[in-house]
Amino acid sequence: MRNIKLVLEYDGTNYNGWQKQPNMPTIQGTVEEALTQLTKTSIHTIGAGRTDTGVHAEGQVANFHTDVSIPVIAFQKGLNTLLPHDIVVSSAAEVSADFHARFSATSRRYRYTLLNRDYPSALTRHTAYFYPNDINVNSVDAICNSLVGKWDFSSFQKTGSDRQNPVCEIFETCCWKTNEIVYIEIEADSFLRGMVRAIVGTILKCVRHDSGNAENACAQFYKILSKKDRSRAGPSAPAHGLSLIRVKYDAK
């Protein structure tokens, strides 16, 4: 059996997330339908990240096993012919038999995008969260920098999650502003369900009341983190501002 790795880009607006669900449009389900058409066999894909409803991706990774002998390039070109325009295969490669898109990953990187001005946008309404309040980027970046390391992120886990271990290691976080767009990026070994959106919503809550004092904003955020209680954190930022931008693997 061959093991094929795909890198996917998609607009998640019209989908109920990555994971296949009965009678609902999902990224995984749509890709598998296209693969079945292409290979004339039933295909099951494995995704690196189970993005939620409305969340996008620039660098989602998936793999699947097949005994079909078509060239690798045909998986990319063929799928891009069969898939809807809001899902694109940016690359395809044949990988080792033990490669697993989810369990072989060493980190995932997410980006949250905010439109920070006093009126919304018709063009970025599906990809950026319109946030008209002032954002102290220095305070946001200070909170981001303080997150590097291993933490118990129970305060930012979606209610009802079945994950037993709430500890994640953050490798890098940062915030910057380009014109009217504010970006927050977080890279970690793993993420709890709803974690990034809860972190962003809580950061916005903290900096809104920090009076321009980054140290005060960090203290507020750390207090929420240490409580390990989701009810203490801020509301989750909307899904449409979030994108999975990269998944890393060890070089072999």
| Residues acting as catalytic residues | 52
Tell me which amino acid residue 250 is: D
114 and 88 housed in the same domain: no
The pLDDT profile of the chain, 252 residues, written as one tens digit per residue, is 999 999 999 999 999 999 999 999 999 999 999 999 999 999 999 999 999 999 999 999 999 999 999 999 999 999 999 999 999 999 999 999 999 999 999 999 999 999 999 999 999 999 999 999 999 999 999 999 999 999 999 999 987 677 889 999 999 999 999 999 999 999 999 999 999 999 999 999 999 876 678 898 999 999 999 999 999 999 999 999 999 999 999 975
The count of domains in the chain is 2
Q: Does some domain include residue 101? A: no
DSSP 8-state code for residue 239: G
111 and 216 housed in the same domain: yes
CB contact at 8 A, 206 and 140: no
27 and 140 housed in the same domain: no
First-to-last alpha carbon distance for the chain, in angstroms, is 20
> Which CATH number goes with the domain that contains 240?
3.30.70.660
Q: What is the pLDDT of residue 49?
A: 93
Supply 79's token pair: 């799928």
Q: What is the pLDDT of residue 20?
A: 95
DSSP 8-state code for residue 252: -
Q: What is the pLDDT of residue 164?
A: 84
53 and 122 housed in the same domain: no
95, 128, 143 - which closes a domain: 95
DSSP 8-state code for residue 80: H
Helix, strand, coil percentages, rounded to 5, for the chain: 30, 30, 40
Supply 123's token pair: 């063009």
- Cα 63 to chain centroid distance, Å, stands at 17
90 and 153 housed in the same domain: no
CA distance 53 to 24: 11
Domain region containing 228: 107-249
CA distance 84 to 171: 35
Name the residue with tokens 């305070």. Answer: 139
126 and 243 housed in the same domain: yes
pLDDT in tens, 19-62: 999 999 999 999 999 999 999 999 999 999 999 999 999 999 99
Q: Is 128 helix (H, G, I), strand (E, B) or coil?
A: coil
126 and 190 housed in the same domain: yes
Q: Does some domain include residue 66? A: yes
Name the residue with tokens 């045909």. Answer: 74
Q: Where are the beta strands (DSSP E) in the chain?
A: 2-10, 46-47, 56-66, 87-95, 105-115, 129-130, 149-152, 167-178, 181-188, 242-249
165 and 214 housed in the same domain: yes
Q: Is 176 helix (H, G, I), strand (E, B) or coil?
A: strand
Nearest Cα residue to 71 out of 29, 33, 39, 28: 39
* Side-chain-side CA neighbours of residue 233 (13 Å): 27
